[in-house]
Amino acid sequence: MSARCLDVLYHLFMSHDLNPNATTWHIAFGTYATRLHGDDRPTVDREHNQPEQAFIQSDQSRYEDQTSRLKDDPIYLAAPQRAVIESLVPAICDRGGWTYRICAAPLEGDHVHVLLDAKLSVEPDAIMMWLKRWLGQELSQRWGKPVTSWWAQCGSTKPVKDIKYLNNVFDYIRRQRTLPQGKI
């Protein structure tokens, strides 16, 4: 059976229920310097981060200011690095006491998505911090430590509050994986 068929079967028969004793989090974070405020893609910052609020649009002077302060080149993850990330996240979730659902380090090589469940009392920013730290340590052991960090300073933590969003985000992440779902 092909990897694509296994992927489809996994998705069809995977239990996509929300655990009432946990929060399901969609956590995403970028690699260092690959998404700067003011470039051609919309972004958010501390002043522009509420639902329904407009994104920051292209602004050449802001982009130039951001690039002038970089301490290292932007980090884009190569295919082997993306595969390692996807293979490590389930064990990292176990280490953190979280329940792994799915993750992806997409082809663009500039970000990571993780879908997991955590105890209601656990802060999502702490989860993201540990994910970045432990993944960064593993990447550094294999490819050396970058001058700054593997990761951008911030990221996104969204609670998954309904089954429809859970199914949509699961499929969204699954379609971006470097490795087929059965290869974790």
82 and 101 inside one domain: yes
Task: Give, as one character, the DSSP assignment of residue 82.
Answer: H
Same domain, 61 and 147: no
- When divided into structural domains, the chain yields a total of 2
Output the pLDDT for position 56: 58
89 and 175 in a single domain? The answer is: yes
| 65 and 134 co-located in one domain | no
Q: Is the domain of 57 the same as that of 120? A: no
The token pair at 64 is: 């130039």
Q: Are residues 123 and 170 in the same domain?
A: yes
- Residues 141 and 117 occupy one common structural domain: yes
Print the domain residue range for 96.
Answer: 3-33+73-183
Taking only the tens place, the pLDDT of each residue in 18-52 is: 999 999 999 999 997 666 555 555 555 556 455 66
Whether residue 108 is found in the same domain as residue 130: yes
pLDDT digits (tens, 9 = 90+) for 77-117: 999 999 999 999 999 999 999 999 999 999 999 999 999 99
Q: What are the helix (H) ranges across 17-119?
A: 60-68, 79-96
- The domain boundary residue, chosen from 15, 50, 69: 69
Same domain (yes/no): 44, 10: no
Judge if 80 and 98 occupy the same domain.
yes
Residues 112 and 150 both lie in one domain: yes
C-beta separation of 58 from 40 below 8 A: yes
Q: Please, are residues 20 and 146 in contact by the beta-carbon 8 Å criterion? A: no
Burial class (CB in 10 A: 0-12, 13-18, 19+), 99: middle
Domain's final residue, options 69, 93, 120: 69
Cα separation, 40 vs 23, whole angstroms: 34
For the question of whether the overall pTM of this predicted structure is more than 0.85, the answer is no
| 58 and 78 share one domain | no
Angle at 17 between CA 105 and CA 122, to 5 degrees: 65
- Extended strands (E) in the chain: 22-31, 99-104, 111-119, 151-160
Retrieve residue 43's tokens.
């972004």
